[in-house]
């Protein structure tokens, strides 16, 4: 069964600190892996998209890694800001963008 | 571009009533997706269109749900009759091509009492 599991479920960190969110998947076939940020009351916004051959991709203070052999990905947030408080969703694309499998998300709260 | 536009943003209705959710995709995007998000199940794909044609509706929960895309700039998701378990946030997303990034609308929060 195609599944995407994320950990932790929730996380609280102090402003300025770094954090890493984890994603494990069993989706097959694999096309690409995406990380989305979803602010409360809004739609998800794409942070990164990585294909099978990409090991890492950055978007500002967000850096995603992918190990296609172990089927694991991580999202590292550097020097967190209050505006980073959101749900971060790991998504695996098994059909070139048309059949996305969503993880349950990690809720991040950054406090001052 | 204004992004994906959805209306209404909030809808409260009574069980048994018909509900119609609306979506305007980003101009030039060939793909349109309808998703549902709940606390229990997270985000789920309901149906998607390519060039106004429904391609995969296997995620539509039952016959009470229907979706149309009469032209490239408008799509509807209809629930008739609505039930309390349909309460969720419904998102529309569009994409310029296969495998490309999907751009989500702000969502419609539906409450069925």
Q: Do the chains contact at B42 and A46, CB–CB below 8 Å?
A: no
Do the Cβ atoms of B43 and A102 come within 8 Å? yes
Six token digits for residue A33: 């892996």
Q: Nearest-CA residue of chain A relative to B58?
A: A99
CB contact under 8 A, B44 and A102: yes
| A31–B98 C-beta distance less than 8 A | no
Nearest to A43 by CA among B108, B101, B11, B97: B108
Residues making up chain B, counted from first to last: 113
On the question of a cis peptide bond just before residue A8, with omega within 30 degrees of 0, the verdict is yes
Please indicate if any CB of chain A lies within 8 Å of the CB of B58: no
Please judge whether B93 and A99 are an interchain contact, meaning their C-beta atoms are less than 8 angstroms apart: no
Task: Give the three-class secondary structure for A95.
Answer: coil
Reduce the DSSP state of residue A82 to 3 states and report it: helix
Lookup: tokens for A44: 């998800």
Q: In the structure, what pLDDT confidence band is assigned to residue A29 with cuts at 50, 70 and 90? A: confident
Chain A residues in contact with B91 (beta carbon < 8 A): 43-44
Instruction: Note whether B95 and B102 are within 8 A (CB).
Output: yes
Q: In this predicted structure, what is the pLDDT of residue A94?
A: 82
Among A56, A63, A4, A57, CA closest to A30 = A4
Is some CB atom of chain A closer than 8 A to the CB atom of B91? yes
**Contact at CB, A31 and B99, closer than 8 angstroms:** yes
CA of A100 vs chain B CAs: smallest distance (Å): 8
Q: Which residues contact B13 (CB under 8 A, 6 or more apart)?
A: B19, B82, B110, B111, B112, B113
**Cβ-contact A25, A5 below 8 angstroms:** yes
- The verdict on A42 touching B (C-beta cutoff 8 Å) is yes
Q: Please give the residue of chain B at the shortest CA–CA distance from A100.
A: B45
Is the predicted pLDDT of residue A96 greater than 70, yes or no?
A: no
Cβ separation B107–A46 shorter than 8 A: no
Give mean pLDDT, residues A80-99: 88
Per-residue pLDDT of chain B (113 residues; tens, 9 = 90+): 689 999 999 999 999 999 999 999 999 999 999 999 999 889 999 999 999 999 999 999 889 999 999 999 999 999 999 999 999 999 999 999 888 889 999 999 999 99
């Amino acid at each position: 069964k195609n599944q995407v599991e994320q950990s932790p479920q929730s996380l609280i960190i102090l402003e300025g600190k770094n954090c890493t969110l984890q994603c494990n998947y069993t989706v097959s076939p694999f096309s690409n892996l995406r990380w989305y940020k979803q602010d409360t009351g809004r739609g998800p916004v794409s942070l990164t998209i990585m294909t099978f051959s990409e090991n890492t991709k950055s978007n500002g203070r967000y850096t995603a890694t992918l190990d296609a052999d172990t089927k694991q990905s991580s999202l590292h947030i550097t020097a967190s800001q209050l505006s980073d408080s959101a749900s971060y969703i790991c998504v695996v694309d098994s059909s070139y963008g048309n059949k996305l499998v969503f993880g349950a998300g990690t809720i991040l709260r950054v406090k001052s | 571009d204004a992004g994906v536009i959805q209306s209404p943003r909030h809808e409260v209705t009574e069980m048994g009533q018909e509900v119609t959710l609306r979506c305007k995709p980003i101009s030039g995007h060939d793909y349109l997706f309808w998703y549902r998000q709940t606390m229990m199940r997270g985000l789920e794909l309901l149906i998607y269109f390519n060039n106004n044609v429904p391609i995969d509706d296997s995620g539509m929960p039952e016959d009470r749900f229907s979706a149309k895309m009469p032209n490239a700039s408008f799509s509807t998701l209809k629930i008739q009759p609505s039930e309390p378990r349909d309460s969720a946030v419904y998102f529309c997303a569009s994409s310029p091509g296969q495998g490309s990034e999907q751009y989500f609308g702000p969502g419609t929060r539906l409450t069925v009492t």
